[in-house]
Amino acid sequence: MTLLTVNPYKVGPPVTGTDFYGRTELLSKVCQALIRSNVVLLQGQRRIGKTSFLQRLPNFLSNQAGQARLILPMVPVAFEIQEYLQVPPLLPIIFDIQRYVQDTLPQFQQHLANTIAKEIQLPVPSLSEWESNPILFRDVWLPQVFERLDKKGLVIIVDEFDNLGEQTGNRANEELVPFLGQLVAGEQRLKWIFTVGRHIGRLPIQYDPIVSPAVQFRLSFLSKQEAEKLIINPASELLTYEPNAIERIYQLTSGHPHLTQALCSEVFERVVFEEERDIATVEDVETVIPHVLKAYEGAIASIVRVPALEERVLAAVAQLTSEEKAACREEIIELLLANRIRLERDELTDTLDSLLAWELLVGDVQGVRIAIEIIRIWITKNVSLEPSREEEIDIQYILAQSRYEFAEKARQAGKYNLAIKDYQEALEYIPNYCEALRGLTEAYRLSGDLAGRADTLQKLYLHKRNVMPELVEALVDYAQQSEKEGEFSIAAEQYEKLLKLQNREVWQQKLEKSLMIEWQRCIQEAQDYLDSNKTLQYKPADEFQQLQEISKKLIKAYKNLENKLNAFTNFEICHKIKGEEEIVLNRIIVSASKLRKEWKEVYRVCKNLEDVGFELKQSEKDALKQAAHSYFNIYIVFILVSITIACVFIGIKINLIKLISYIVDPLLSPIIIFAVILILMAIALTILQSMLQRVEPLSFQVSKFFLRLHFGDR
């Protein structure tokens, strides 16, 4: 045991030869797929064993071709882009995008040609020839390759193909990927095997010519039987695992090859190297978990490297679950909301579906949990549920993009109300999301909502000035519709906006017309209301504000006239309007003051109206009379009491009480005299008030006279 110096578990580098376990069925499926298609696409998580699988493929393809004749005879070539000078070309090696980031298309073509030519002994043109002839590779050099191959096929294997554009940016997406797409579409004898480490739906659109015709396979976790072989066989001569230890390793890793190797490697280090034992127990497995989480943190982080929103959902699920317990959607939404992440149920469903498809989660509609237990433990320790400011912005963008995609589908399906709702939700996340604003504009147009279209185009115009013609059209349509419906104030608002966009006389004239009509309507409405005497339903504050705003807009419109020939006339019109406005507003004050029983204000305003020559209407006259009667009754009561007291005093002086005491009880005489006098005075005053009310001019004049006396206005 002490002679052993190498840990048999390989964690990190691709596994080859007899160290490769499982995947036999998938190898056969890939071979079969190459018969009917010239592109095979292998998807899988990072660290799932895609590179090891690719390095196993060349020998398997050759064996299958020679023995079972499942496919045409082929020359497997591992295309290694970054190591084309240092590494023997017969070996399949991983594509390293870091060393390929600066290469141009001619350089790429030369590197690919070198890789193929070394395998079949064919001359390669110089770089200058590739640069001078864009069609050299496909139209000239590639036919020479097929001629040398005779009836054989050619398989080119490229690892982590989806990383091509991550750092090369537009150059890869605009030049290299389209070039490979042309080869895939136009050369059926040239076969490709690509691996990708992310969801196909997230690849840029430039990848479609390669992805669309491909036969796709997923490299998933090892089966329990395959995982047991991976655990037991590498160290079978030196270490024996107890059954419950094997079971625990599988529970922790779910058959993930890299994590299984990592956990077994640490167990081997502990049991064999440190404690010099030959039996691994479940306690050994539990003991090394913290060290595995620390030592292989980079690998685990790469496996769970997902967009910010999905990472927060993973963190929420990890916090809510255990090996036995799953989390329902309502629990996840509630926990996310508590951490400043607002997620609708359908958005959560889409996110969960993506994580389920990528095998980071397992479960169903009832509940979900993290697919790999050791990853769940790592997430709870290393992934914060509350996002940073930068992550929060990323999440907002992801949510906005998700709602935008929903809206686009709804709009294309003719479900405009649903599309409008989704566009609006996208804009709640990112208010300046131009694509969503454009889509919302179109949805409003298709649904006939002119107001919504005009408003949305104004927001879009702040970011894209080229939409001004469309904005002008929308504002005109909305203004004309408002005029037809009698909403001239709304029409005026649209013409004001048009005037700011285009300082044209036609918009000025239409604005003036709309404002004038609306002002006259409001004036007439106020007059009709005041004349109808329905004061109990009146709300003066609202009408004040409306009339004042209309008059201000109208005066402003006239002041902005460019035609100076009409300036004096316009001034007179504005002056006239201002006078009429003041009269109406004064009438409103009278009505409001009457409701509040502010009689002094009623008298003041009515007096002002008469001073400017305005004839009071019946409602104002009634208000004045009501004010006068209010004060008049107070005076009457005072006079009655005064007269009664005086009569009683006089009665005492003339011995009237003695006279009455002969008739009734002497103690009741003063009371009887007081009551009789009071009754007589009340009857007299009632007759007087009735006469004043019946004789309207007299009543009104008496009221005014009385109020002048009361307020000291003589």
What is the C-alpha separation between 444 and 476, in angstroms, rounded?
Answer: 15
Residue 59 pLDDT greater than 60, yes or no: yes
Q: What is the mean pLDDT of residues 375-392?
A: 86
For residue 240, the cross-strand partners are 279
What is the C-alpha separation between 469 and 474, in angstroms, rounded?
Answer: 9
HSE of 426 in the Cβ direction (CA atoms, 13 Å)? 25
Q: What is the dihedral of CA 135, 141, 142, 146, to 10 degrees?
A: 150
Domain 224-300: assigned CATH number: 1.10.8.60
Distance of CA 149 to the CA centre of its chain: 56
Q: Where are the domains of the chain?
A: 23-218, 224-300, 304-387, 631-710
> pLDDT by residue (tens digit) across 464-496?
888 899 999 999 999 999 989 888 878 888 888
DSSP string, 60-80: HHHHIIIII--S--EEEEE--
pTM: 0.59
Q: For residues 309 and 351, is the Cβ–Cβ distance under 8 A?
A: yes
**Higher local confidence (pLDDT), 76 or 468:** 468
Q: For residues 62 and 76, is the Cβ–Cβ distance under 8 A?
A: yes
Q: Considering only CA atoms, which of 229, 252, 299 is closest in space to residue 19?
A: 229
The total of other beta-carbon atoms located within 10 Å of residue 357's CB is 14
C-alpha distance from residue 6 to each of 137, 271, 274, 338, 495 (Å): 47, 14, 14, 50, 84
What is the C-alpha separation between 178 and 172, in angstroms, rounded?
Answer: 8
Task: Indicate the average pLDDT of the chain.
Answer: 75
Q: What is the pLDDT of residue 479?
A: 92
C-alpha distance from residue 485 to each of 305, 328, 490, 514 (Å): 57, 51, 10, 12
Q: For residues 644 and 677, is the Cβ–Cβ distance under 8 A?
A: yes
Say whether domain 23-218 belongs to CATH 3.40.50.300.
yes
What is the C-alpha separation between 529 and 554, in angstroms, rounded?
Answer: 22
What is the C-alpha separation between 203 and 212, in angstroms, rounded?
Answer: 11
Phi (first) and psi of residue 150, to 5 degrees: 60, -115
CATH of the domain spanning 304-387, picked from 1.20.970.10, 3.60.15.10, 1.10.10.10, 3.30.980.10: 1.10.10.10
> pLDDT by residue (tens digit) across 172-229?
667 778 888 888 888 887 888 888 877 777 777 778 888 888 888 888 888 899 899 9
Question: Which 8-state DSSP code applies to residue 214?
Answer: -
Q: Give kind and range of the element (H or E) at residue 413.
A: none
What is the C-alpha separation between 177 and 37, in angstroms, rounded?
Answer: 19
Q: For residues 66 and 275, is the Cβ–Cβ distance under 8 A?
A: no
Q: What is the pLDDT of residue 374?
A: 95
The total number of residues shown for the chain amounts to 714
